[in-house]
Each structure stands twice: as structure tokens, then as C-alpha cells.
Amino acid sequence: MSLRRVGAVAARIVTQFRRDHRSLGLLFVAPILVLTLVGALWGSSSTSTVRAAVAGDVDPQLYAALQGTKLELKALDHDAAIEALRAGQTDAVIEFDQAGAVVTLDGSDPARTSAIVGSVQGALTDLIIGAPLASAVKVNYLYGGPAYTLLDYLAPVLIAVFAFFFIFLLSTVSFLRERTSGTLERLLATPLTRAELVLGYLGGFALFALVQALVILAYTVLVLKVQYRGNFATIFIVEAVLVVGAVSLGLAISAFARNELQAVQFVPLVLLPQVFLSGLLVPVEQLNDVLRPISALLPLTYANEALRAVMVKGYALSDPLILRDIGILAAFALVMAVAAVGSIRREVA
């Protein structure tokens, strides 16, 4: 074995990468961006406060005693308190009757639910009216319940992430191959317009994307036995609009890569911010003031919100929240398709 020849091969690789400024940029910039997101999400030592709405007529002394606990309280009537709980503006609704305390929770996030129950019961234990209230606390759930698992809560988000990731990667690499092999130039020599070309590729990739979305959804529901409340067709519609947007994004992003290695290196830049900021790891409403506006620009944020609303809370397709999220996802797909058309013009014109 010749060390000189080995060194020559290694030198060629180093020279090749030294001239590949995109790969070098992605190699060093992507980890910094990801670590910055991690630091912004989990670098704070602050703890979240449980927000509780006290509903109905409550003895002033009891309410004052509750205010002395770690709960963040506000007094509302029953209907307003339940509506605030549905909207995510409060974590728990506490009501009192002759038998003790009734606590109503959202119930969709098992980990969060357990923490809220512990905080509320801990606060109520400190209040003694004849006997510890903790021995007479009844817990109700709007959604989910004691049998609700972490997989049931995470399934809507995981469905969206997996569907988005795999079809984005496939469409990016495949369309890049069409660019670098000269196929696009040959096709554009025909009467095809750039818009027709993009729509054709979009239709072809979208067919596989929709089949993939259906397989992921069916496996999640039928094999993993994930609990869901909404209509199966509504879940698929949300997922379908998302994957069409992922295909459009892949077609547009491929213009910024010169080889398949560069295309793969775009994955962390595109996917990881959405994983961190779309509600998978940290609820969107708990993001800080800097990260929340960024989250509002990401398609997975709206897909996660819609899928959770349908699967966990049973929202219908006609619900304004679902229609809004689908509309935003459709608009994102359209914008990315237009960007893909423009990228072909820059590439071959």
C-alpha cells in the first residue's frame, strides 16, 4: 500500500470540498443554527406556572387562600372558564361544591396533565376546610383521559413530521438529478412551458406523497392503535395538503444545490427548525417572543395544530381553525410552486 497514493486521494477530496463553498457553509452553519435553537428553547431555567380559572361562586377567603399558592388564578363564570380551557388560555378549571373540588383539565398532553394535577392538588392540600381537599378532588377531562398515552398525544405531530420529511427529501434529490443530468434542458426544448413542467413534476411526486401519507396514517391508526376522535378523511386532507407543500418546497430548494450531497445538507436547515418550533418538543404558546414569530412562518406549525385539533379534540373539517390552517398550507404550497418555476428560469435561461 502506497501512502503517497492514499494521501493524493485524500488531498483530492480536501481540494474538492475546499472549492465547494455551499457544502462548507452548510457543514459549519447548520450545526450552529441548530444549537442556537436548542439554547433558545432549553437554555432558560425558568419554570412554567400553572394557570387556573376558578369558576362559579367561591368563598372570598378560599379564593384568597388559593392566591397564596403557586397557581396563577383568575375568576370566571363556568362557561367562560371552559371556553378559556378549550382555547388554551388556562390549564385547569377549579370548581367547588359540598363534596369538595372538581378540577377540569384539557387532558390531551399526558405529561402536562400529570404536572397540572400535581400542582392543583398540591395547592388544594394546603387548604383545609374540615378535611384536606385533596381527599375530595374529582378530575374531569375535556379530551383524552387517564388512559391517554404519550403516543396518542404525539401521533398527530409525528405523522406530519414523517410525511413532510421523507417526501421533501425525495423530491429535492430527484428534481436535482433532473437538473444536473440535463433532462430539464431537453424538456424545455419541447413546447412545454416552465409552469407546465413544474406542475407535471409536482403531480408525479404528489401522487407518491399522497400514497405515503395514507400509508403512514393507516399504520398509525390500525397497527399502532393510536386513539383519535376526528374524521379519518379530515385527517388525510390536512396531511395531503402538507405533503403537496413539501413537494413544492423540495422542487424549489433543489435550485440551491449543485449535487446530491448539498441537497441532503439542506435537510437539517429546513426540517430541524420546524421540529423544534412547530410544537413537537415545546408547545408553540410556550415559545419566547423571539421564536414565536419564526414558528408562525413554518408550515409544520399549522399542520401540527390542525392534526391535533382533529385527532385529539375531534374538530370537523368545517371548523374555522381547520379551514384556516389548510388555507395557509395550500398558500405555502402555491408560493413554493411559483418559486420552483422561477428557479428553473434562473437555472437554464
Summarised one tens digit per residue, pLDDT across range 319-333 is: 999 999 999 999 999
What pLDDT, on a 0 to 100 scale, did the predictor assign at position 235?
A: 92
What pLDDT, on a 0 to 100 scale, did the predictor assign at position 134?
A: 46
Domains annotated on the chain, with CATH: 51-141 (3.40.190), 150-348 (no CATH)
Burial of 227 (0-12, 13-18, 19+ CB in 10 A): middle
Encoded amino acid at 308, one letter = R
pTM: 0.76
d(CA 50, CA 90): 8
Q: Burial code of 82-121, b = ≥16 C-beta within 10 A, e = fewer? A: bebbeeeebbbbbbbeeebbbbbbbbbbbebbeebbebbb
Percent of the chain topping pLDDT 70: 77
What pLDDT, on a 0 to 100 scale, did the predictor assign at position 99?
A: 67
pLDDT confidence of 157, banded at 50, 70, 90?
A: confident
Rounded mean pLDDT, 123-149: 66
